[in-house]
């Protein structure tokens, strides 16, 4: 499961508030203290966010190591990792559907089921290259062997405040296809899923412009509200994208004038 010291600490504080408990980080930032009127819990973390030790103390007693809590927190991370593995296997299987042996990367991005997929290796998460601009396609055609780089997204899983059903195993039915020709999947039943305070995430290397209708459709299908959005007119996004390499400072287009030159061929 994708994590960091900061994200794990935030997760512990969020869970504590849900249960009516108080939580605060130590001055060093590597320990979280969860307190109530009757007891307190001390969670020791390393700099990478791994749980090193958990101590429990009741009122007036010395804190003692609580192996059960250490195991529970570790098990939650392990289950999130298993769910991520299941998703990665499904995505990889989808990338192989209708794929020919000699297909190149640009063709995979333009016409593949999921784009050009690079499986996870070690600590490097799976990433998907899903878009290449027409200019980059032309460059690849005119200069064979050139390494044009399209837009990519990283596939990961992160903790959340609400519980979601995540798969225990791959769900793609490779031997079947739906009525519309798209891949068929097994239903996410109780036997094939587990309830976890986590969800799958696509992380982009840079902000991605998207229409509000598409965002609403994603939220409807996933049941997850997308946060941190910034609204902007389409023309402003186009101008910013076009001039981003020429302008080093933020600029506003509200009072700007733009001229379009049209050429008519007779």
- Asked whether residue 163 falls in the same domain as residue 219, the answer is no
What percentage of the chain exceeds 90 in pLDDT? 11
Q: How many structural domains comprise the chain? A: 3
Distances (CA, A) of 254 to 18, 146, 236, 239, 251: 43, 39, 8, 11, 9
Q: Is residue 266 part of a domain?
A: no
- Asked whether residue 40 falls in the same domain as residue 153, the answer is no
175 three-class SS: strand
Please check the confidence at residue 158 and state whether its pLDDT lies above 80: yes
The distance of Cα 222 from the centroid of its chain, to the nearest Å, equals 13
Distance CA 204, CA 94 (A): 21
Q: What is the pLDDT of residues 71-111, one digit of tens each?
A: 766 777 778 888 999 999 999 999 888 777 778 888 888 88
**The residue count for the chain:** 266
Please give the residue range of the domain that contains residue 91.
75-208
pTM exceeds 0.85:
no
SS3 content of the chain, % helix, strand, coil (to 5): 30, 30, 40
Q: Is residue 51 part of a domain?
A: yes
- Asked whether residue 115 falls in the same domain as residue 189, the answer is yes
**pLDDT tier at 166, thresholds 50, 70, 90:** very high
Query: For tokens 């997760």, what's the residue?
Result: 11
- Asked whether residue 216 falls in the same domain as residue 235, the answer is yes
- From the number of C-beta atoms within 10 Å of its C-beta (0-12, 13-18, 19+), residue 128 rates as buried
Q: Is residue 255 part of a domain?
A: no
- Asked whether residue 79 falls in the same domain as residue 187, the answer is yes
- Asked whether residue 94 falls in the same domain as residue 188, the answer is yes
- Asked whether residue 47 falls in the same domain as residue 160, the answer is no
């Amino acid at each position: 499961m994708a994590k960091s010291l900061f994200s794990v600490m935030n997760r512990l504080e969020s869970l504590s508030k849900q249960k009516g408990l108080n939580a605060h980080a130590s001055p060093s930032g590597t320990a979280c203290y969860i307190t109530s009127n009757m007891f307190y819990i001390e969670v020791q973390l390393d700099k990478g966010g791994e749980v090193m030790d958990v101590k429990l103390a009741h009122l007036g007693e010395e804190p003692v190591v609580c192996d059960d809590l250490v195991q529970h927190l570790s098990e939650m991370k392990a289950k999130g990792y298993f769910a991520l593995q299941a998703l990665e296997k499904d995505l990889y299987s989808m990338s192989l559907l209708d794929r020919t042996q000699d297909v190149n990367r640009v063709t995979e991005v333009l016409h593949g089921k999921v784009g050009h997929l690079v499986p996870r290796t070690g600590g490097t998460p799976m990433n998907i290259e899903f878009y290449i601009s027409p200019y980059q396609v032309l460059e690849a055609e005119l200069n064979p062997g050139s390494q044009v780089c399209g837009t990519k997204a990283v596939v990961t899983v992160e903790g959340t405040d609400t519980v979601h059903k995540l798969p225990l195993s791959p769900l793609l039915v490779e031997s079947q296809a739906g009525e519309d020709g798209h891949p068929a999947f097994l239903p996410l039943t109780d036997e094939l899923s587990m309830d976890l305070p986590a969800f799958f995430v696509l992380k982009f290397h840079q902000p991605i412009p998207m229409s509000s209708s598409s965002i609403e459709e994603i939220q409807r299908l996933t049941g997850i509200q997308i946060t941190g959005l910034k609204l902007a007119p389409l023309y402003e996004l186009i101008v910013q994208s076009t001039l981003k390499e020429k302008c080093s400072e933020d600029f506003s287009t509200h009072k700007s004038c733009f001229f379009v030159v049209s050429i008519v061929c007779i």
